[in-house]
Amino acid sequence: MTDKEQAQKQIDTVNNSNSKTVKKLLLVVIAMFGFGFALVPLYDVFCDITGLNGKTNTTAASYEASAVDTSRLIKVQFITRNAKGIPWKFEPVLNEVNVHPGEIKVVSFYAKNNALHDIIGQAVPSVSPGLAANYFHKIECFCFTQQPLKASEDVEMALQFYVDLDLPEDINTLTLSYTLYDITEKSS
């Protein structure tokens, strides 16, 4: 083998291992790009487990409490808030109720479309303190569906819920907050 061939062979080996390394690194790049998107469902799972962010159940829960714990009384407060740009009147009929853990309660919220055109609204709930979110179960909620209202139309919307028997001892007050969004454009 001449010197030239030897040198060429050496260059080929280096190029070979270069492209191997590049391929491995590109795989990492693609995997990490995917991981960024995988964080979206992972985040939901994480919130579910930890109750981070006060996320409550987004579909109807069934009643599973074995008894009513009359020894405890939990204060549940209701707050409503309109996101920017939705001219609805939106408020709880009762500002707060007291419930025993395990007891089913029905409360209602009032909404009126003050605009001159039809609007589809969507209420998004959140519970504070965040750790209590996993212990607050909605059996029936207007937030599970979209709420269309014609101009000047109003409606009373129901929320049926119970507080879990396992609610940590140090939590005596829950705040349920609803933010109302205009989703007319998105749902049309």
Partner 1 sequence: MTTDVIEQDSHDEHHDDSHEHGKMTGIKRWLYTTNHKDIGTLYLWFAFIMFLTGGAMAMVIRAELFQPGLQLVEPDFFNQLTTVHGLIMVFGAIMPAFTGFANWMLPMMLGAPDMALPRMNNWSFWILPFAFAILLGSFFMESGAPNFGWTFYAPLSTTYSNGSTAFFVFAVHIMGISSIMGAINIVVTIMNLRAPGMTYMKMPLFVWTFFITAYLLIAVMPVLAGVVTMLLTDTYFGTSFFDAAGGGDPVMFQHIFWFFGHPEVYIMILPAFGIVSTIIPAFSRKRLFGYSSMVYATSSIALLSFIVWAHHMFTTGMPLFGELFFMYCTMLIAVPTGVKVFNWVATMWRGSLSFETPMLFSIAFVILFTIGGFSGLMLAMTPVDFQYHDTYFVVAHFHYVLVTGSLFSIYAGAYYWLPKWTGHMYNDTLSKWHFWCSLISVNLLFFPMHFLGLAGMPRRIPDYALQFADFNKWVSIGGFAFGLSQLIFLAVVIKCIRGGEKAPAKPWDGAIGLEWTVASPAPYHTFSTPPPQKDIDNADQHEH
Tell me the window of 68-76, 90-98, 111-119, 174-182 that interacts with partner 1 (CB under 8 A): 174-182
**Cα–Cα distance, 74 to 136 (Å, whole number):** 11
Site for partner 1 in 39-58 (CB under 8 A): 39-40, 43, 47, 50-55, 58
Check residue 15 for interaction with partner 1 (CB under 8 A).
Answer: yes
Taking the complex as a whole, the smallest distance from the CB of residue 4 to partner 1 amounts, in Å, to 8
Residue choice 9, 18, 89, 172 for contact with partner 1 (CB under 8 A): 18
Check residue 95 for interaction with partner 1 (CB under 8 A).
Answer: no
Task: Give the sheet arrangement for strand 74-82, strand by strand.
Answer: 96-99, 74-82, 173-182, 119-128, 147-149
Tell me the window of 30-38, 59-67, 103-111, 151-159 that interacts with partner 1 (CB under 8 A): 30-38
Angle at 55 between CA 58 and CA 175, to 5 degrees: 110
Residues that bind partner 1 (CB under 8 A): 4, 7, 11, 14-15, 17-18, 21-22, 25-26, 28-37, 39-40, 43, 47, 50-55, 58, 83-84, 122, 124, 128, 130-131, 179, 181-183, 186
